[in-house]
Every structure is written in C-alpha cells, then in structure tokens.
Amino acid sequence: MALGRFAYRRNTLNGCARQFLSGVLRGGPQPYTTIRRRAREAGVRLSALWTAKRTLNVQSCIRDGYAVWHLPGIA
C-alpha cells in the first residue's frame, strides 16, 4: 500500500511541475536560472522539474552564455 501512496504522490508532484513549467514557458523562452528560481519559490522539486522538461519535450539552447529553455517549435 505504501508503494501506491508513493506513486500517487510522485505523479501529483510531476503533474504540478508540468503545469508550472508549461505556464512559465507559455510566455516564451526563459533562462534556466530563472526557471529554477521560480520553481524553488513555487515549491517544485528539481527532480520533478527535469521530469516535466522531458515529458513536455522542452528544448534547451545556449544564448549569450546562458541555458535557455523553450517549448517545442518556439525558438
């Protein structure tokens, strides 16, 4: 039963992270440092943030020496 509660909690946290990340990137590309800071402020764990990045197929590139994340198809 504990495994079921763990899976439920993990899925809930990952869902919250997906909502957070899609909301942040809806306005356009954002520097990773900004995303990470805002995620921390919103209580989103770093591991859940990276899971959300993979799930949403978020792209990353380097601009002016900074990692920038953006939704697929938006550069």
Taking only the tens place, the pLDDT of each residue in 8-53 is 666 666 778 999 999 999 999 999 999 999 999 999 999 999 999 9
pTM of the model: 0.81
State whether CATH 1.10.10 applies to domain 2-70.
yes
Burial 19-41, CB ≥16 within 10 A → b, else e = ebbeebbeeebbeeeebbebbee
Contact between 13 and 52 (Cβ < 8 Å)? no
CA 63 to centroid of chain Cα atoms:
19
